[in-house]
Amino acid sequence: MRIRELVDWNIYWFLFVLGELSFLASFPYSITMSKEFLYDLGVSLPSLLATQFIRSTVILMIAIFTGLYLGKKVGLETPILSSLSEKKEFPSETTSIVKLSILMGLFLSIVLFVLDYFVFSMFTEPLITFLTTPPLWQRLLYSIYAGIVEEIVLRFLLVTLLVWISWKIRKTADGQPTKTGVLISIVLISLIYAIGYLVSYSPLLMDQILALRFVVLNGIAGMVMGWLYWKKGLEASLLANLTASFMLFVVFGSFF
């Protein structure tokens, strides 16, 4: 099979450009949040940003190719983007997918905010007050990055890869991944990401409440996005994550 037949390159380059622009949009927020840490390390900011951008580019290239190539084997799709690429009419359920995704994103943001601000805050300072310290415009740009890049890497790459591995091990009578395999993949990636996010704040690891907060909040978010990706496609999880990120970083962060 020729390389141009392996994946839909229209979708590939669209997601790649979207991911690259989103990553660039995250720079102001990231610099504000880590400038004291960088100062203590004595790291050159331009060299660090260049390194991160190169690493992000490589990860995006691998993630998008994997999602498109393996996704079509296991039924994990990009229905709306595929229709655009093939110049077909949108799927009949496009409107319902958009509505469901936005509603799920709104509901998820409320659940996460309540858990963080009203439940875990009984033991330690709300995480949202730390994450929303940069200016509004930086938080807005970062919410775009979080909503897009997280889904491309976590769902499109990692969940797809684990589902494909489970499919290779065991499949249904009609050749599809088993529900158990898909659910295990979604839960595993959600927990791995939550733990990885926690490790990135290694100076705070001794705080058990903070550790539990990271695992619970990121775990819930990951499982919701994973379910949407499985049932409705990548566009659904992207839109839900964008909605939830906007609500948390911009709306709730501005009021609280």
Cα–Cα distance measured from residue 219 to residue 196, given in angstroms and rounded to the nearest whole number: 11
- Calculate mean pLDDT across residues 223-242: 97
Place 205 in a pLDDT band, splitting at 50, 70 and 90.
very low
User: Residue 199 pLDDT more than 70?
Assistant: no
Per domain, the residue ranges of the chain are 3-255
Structure tokens at 150: 């997280």
- Calculate mean pLDDT across residues 30-35: 83
Cα–Cα distance measured from residue 134 to residue 136, given in angstroms and rounded to the nearest whole number: 7
3-state secondary structure 113-173: HHHHHHHHHHCCCCHHHHHCCCCHHHHHHHHHHHHHHHHHHHHHHHHHHHHHHHHHHCECC
